[in-house]
């Protein structure tokens, strides 16, 4: 009799449990089903969006490469193609603007190149591309005086980032050009003493510091400082970004000119020099293809 009672109690408990389970699903079932549908739809939507973004980046990369090839054959058509890529969103937009500005600088249109570089520097490109654009704008602004250079690179010089050494070097050259030998010596001496300064920049800083010290002592150093020194400090080709080299001292006119070329930046850059446009652009495109800033 006890066994029969135990069986009956188990059946009652099982029935009660089934009732509780049924009531739970009756109350919460629609919400659970809806949540599951939303999760599945979200995952599918994310995969579709990611696929579309990847396809867009690949298409933009192809447009960018085609524009570079066209630039070598027809400068005006190549610039137009680069401008079209620059107007799109994505990782190659800012890179296309850099190449377009480089083409204008190589053609002697300094102000147009300066305008584009500054546009990139103030835009929504990844941080390193904006800094690269600012450095190149500062280089072109040397012809406009130290204040113009400071407006482009002073923030980078104070940032402590990887480009700060080149920005500080450029400010030192601008001080030399302005005959502010005290500031120039202080800048170059600090660079030469900083163990984190890239070796190439440090070696040049020692030479520039000696030049500034000579100027501070009253030696006439006019005509000995050329813009192509800054070009080398940035790992850039004078023909690529500025056409013929200009002298910043009063003794210009010695007949030395840099050869002008229309080719794009070299893909192989020494470790102590600034990364090329393509290296930075490819990295930014691979890190998101969206052209948004990724702070380090």
What's the residue count for the chain? Answer: 296
Q: pLDDT grade, residue 11 (50/70/90)?
A: low
Q: Is residue 291 part of a domain?
A: no
The answer to whether residue 4 sits within a structural domain is no
Residue 106: left (phi > 0), alpha (psi -120 to 50), or beta? alpha
The answer as to whether 115 is a domain residue is yes
Q: What is the pLDDT of residue 223?
A: 58
pTM value is 0.63
Beta bridge partners of 247: 226
Let me know the angle formed at the C-alpha of 233 by 230 and 236, rounded to the nearest 5 degrees: 85
Q: Which of 137, 111, 109 lies closest to 123, judged by CA? A: 137
pLDDT at position 22: 74
User: Are the C-beta atoms of residues 231 and 139 closer than 8 Å to each other?
Assistant: yes
pLDDT of residue 294: 40
Per-residue pLDDT tens for 112-153? 999 999 999 998 888 989 999 999 999 999 889 899 999 999
Over residues 13-28, the mean pLDDT reads 73
User: In the prediction, which pLDDT does 278 show?
Assistant: 45
Closest CA to 100 of 123, 124, 116, 122: 116
Q: Tell whether 242 is covered by a domain.
A: yes
Q: Is residue 5 in a domain?
A: no
Does the pLDDT value for residue 183 go beyond 70? yes
The rounded percent of the chain whose pLDDT value lies above 70 is 69
DSSP 146-180: HHHHHHHHHHHHHH-STTHHHHHHHHHHHHHHTT-
pLDDT the model gives residue 37: 78
Q: For 194-203, how does the pLDDT look when each residue is reduced to its tens digit (9 = 90+)? A: 999 998 899 9
Alpha helices in 194-276 (DSSP H): 199-216, 227-234, 238-241
Question: Looking at the domain assignment, is residue 188 inside a domain?
Answer: yes
Residue 35 has pLDDT above 50, yes or no: yes
Highest mean pLDDT among 44-58, 230-244, 253-267: 44-58
Domains of the chain: total: 1
**Any domain includes 165:** yes
Tokens coding 201: 């920049």
Where helices occur in the chain by DSSP H, the ranges are 2-73, 75-86, 91-106, 110-121, 127-140, 146-159, 164-177, 181-193, 199-216, 227-234, 238-241, 277-286
- Check if the beta carbon of residue 79 is closer than 8 Å to that of residue 67: no
User: Which pLDDT does position 290 carry in this prediction?
Assistant: 44
Q: What's the rounded Cα separation, in Å, for the pair 112 and 103?
A: 10
Cα torsion angle, 94, 95, 96, 100, sign: positive
Q: How far is Cα 18 from Cα 116, in angstroms, rounded to an integer? A: 72
> Using one digit for the tens of pLDDT, what is the confidence trace for 65-123?
888 898 888 989 989 999 988 888 777 888 899 999 999 998 889 999 999 999 999 98
As a whole number, the mean pLDDT across the chain is 74
Q: Is residue 182 part of a domain?
A: yes
Residue with tokens 């003794």: 251
The average pLDDT across 250-273 equals 36
Range of the domain at 211: 49-54+63-253+260-286
pLDDT bin (cut points 50, 70, 90) of residue 262 is very low
């Amino acid at each position: 009799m006890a066994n029969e009672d135990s069986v009956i109690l188990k059946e009652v408990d099982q029935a009660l449990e089934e009732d509780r389970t049924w009531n739970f699903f009756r109350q919460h079932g629609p919400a659970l089903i809806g949540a599951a549908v939303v999760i599945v739809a979200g995952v599918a939507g994310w995969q579709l969006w990611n696929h579309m973004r990847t396809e867009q980046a690949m298409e933009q990369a192809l447009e960018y490469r085609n524009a570079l090839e066209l630039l070598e054959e027809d400068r005006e058509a190549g610039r137009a193609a680069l401008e079209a890529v620059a107007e799109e969103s994505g990782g190659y937009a800012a890179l296309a603007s850099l190449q377009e500005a480089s083409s204008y600088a190589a053609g002697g249109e300094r102000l147009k190149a300066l305008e584009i570089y500054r546009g990139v520097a103030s835009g929504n490109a990844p941080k390193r591309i904006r800094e690269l654009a600012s450095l190149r704008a500062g280089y072109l602004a040397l012809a406009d005086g130290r204040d113009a250079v400071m407006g482009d690179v002073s923030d980078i010089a104070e940032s402590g980032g990887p480009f700060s050494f080149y920005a500080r070097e450029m400010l030192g050259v601008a001080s030399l050009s302005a005959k502010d030998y005290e500031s120039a010596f202080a800048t170059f001496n600090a660079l030469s003493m900083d163990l984190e300064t890239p070796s190439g920049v440090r070696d040049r800083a020692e030479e520039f510091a000696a030049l500034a010290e000579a100027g501070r002592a009253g030696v006439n150093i006019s005509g000995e400082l050329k813009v192509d020194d800054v070009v080398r400090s940035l790992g850039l080709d004078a023909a690529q970004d500025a056409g013929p080299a200009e002298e910043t001292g009063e003794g210009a006119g010695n007949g030395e000119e840099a050869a002008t070329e229309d080719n794009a930046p070299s893909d192989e850059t020494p470790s102590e020099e600034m990364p090329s446009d393509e290296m930075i652009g490819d990295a930014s495109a691979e890190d998101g293809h969206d052209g948004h800033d990724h702070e380090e």
